[in-house]
Amino acid sequence: MAWNAACANNGGGLVLVPAIGRFLVLPLLLQGPCNGFIQLQIDGDLLASPDKAFVSGYYWLQIHQVNNLAIHGLGRLVGRGQTAWPYNTCSTDASCTRLPINLIFQSVNIARIRNIKSFHSKSFHFALNGCNDVLFDNVTVIAPSDSPNTDGIHISMSTGITIQNSLIATGDDCISLGPGSHTVNITNVHCGPGHGISIGSLGRYPNESDVSGITVRDTKFYGTMNGVRIKTWSSSYQSVLSNVAFLNLEMHNVNNPIVIDQNYCPHNACQQTKVSESRVQIKDVKYEDIRGSSSIQAAVTFNCSQVAPCQGIVLQNINLTFNGTGSSTSICQNVRGSSFGPQLPPCCF
């Protein structure tokens, strides 16, 4: 009722969640369009239901068709994911039922999300689809390292997204970018634990939109499964990923600091072969000033497609040591590019 009143008010309005309070909220759609700039100030805690009846569903909270939005405050979104994770079967079943996303932005334009904390989501913490000009600043995401599918921020079919000055410690990708992600800037993020920052997986469905203009800079990874990863399905439909830059990154005991995997095929969802038939073209990807340590010897892996080899891959000033016996190494398949400056491990193309 408060949202509807603020949204309908000429000139906009503000919805306040008081600081002294913990509020149980059942799945909720906050619908626009609104008649002006609208603010959601969350100073208290919003609690998802622990009831099994709310284990499945697309979202817990959704904001739909809203322009000129601000979300801020000192409060928390508490997803109570520990009541739902035992029902997650996605590690073995590609057609599994997805659990609710803590907060999804659908068709939202010009939004600023600041200082919000998201805890223990049942699935993704934040997701954006069909959005434009959205800023996440000083956002905190927390979930156990073994919590399934709890991506920090997932982006798809969206343009002009900025994520900065944030801490993301979760059980899946800190940030994941799906089809149709354009002009995304990620700066000064603490990532870990989790699976790193991933572009993809791409190419699973026909007519996927291309991905371009992705920049990740000044970011640190701690004990993550991957650092910066690009992944496409091993048997995929055609699309293009281009104009990507990974700049000034620190890796601290990261399993795969730099990886392109065009043989991605979890849960036996496609026929495994020794030859990648991915038709996603990856081109113009730059890795510059990336340093730190790898927990496996192959610190750099480019496993590109035989039918659409990676093109325009650039390595500049790479210094990744192996936390073990021997020196770090690199692996290259079907990749074309160039290298400049010091290279540890030695460049393999």
pLDDT along the chain (349 residues), means of 10: 96 95 96 97 97 91 98 97 92 82 98 98 98 98 97 98 98 98 98 98 96 98 98 95 98 98 79 72 98 98 97 98 97 98 97
Distance CA 277, CA 304 (A): 10
DSSP state of 276: -
From the list 179, 176, 185, 183, the residue with the least C-alpha distance to 229 is 176
What count of Cα atoms within 13 Å lies in the side-chain half-sphere of residue 48?
33
Catalytic, out of 45, 125, 151, 172: 172
Find residue 233's DSSP bridge partners. Answer: 264
Give the DSSP letter string of 150-198: --SEEEESEEEEEEEEEEEE-SS-SEEE-TTEEEEEEEEEEE-SSS-EE
Name the burial class of residue 122, with classes exposed (0-12), middle (13-18) and buried (19+) by CB atoms within 10 angstroms of its CB: buried
Active site residue 195: yes
Domain with CATH 2.160.20.10 in the chain: 173-268+279-349
Catalytic, out of 45, 125, 195, 261: 195
Distance CA 185, CA 213 (A): 8
Active site residue 172: yes
In this prediction, residue 83 carries a pLDDT of 94
Q: Which CATH architecture has domain 173-268+279-349?
A: 3 Solenoid (2.160)
In this prediction, residue 95 carries a pLDDT of 77
Count Cβ atoms below 10 Å from residue 74 Cβ, excluding itself. 12
Q: Are 191 and 171 in contact (CB under 8 A)?
A: no
Which helix (DSSP H) or strand (DSSP E) does residue 5 occupy? helix 2-8
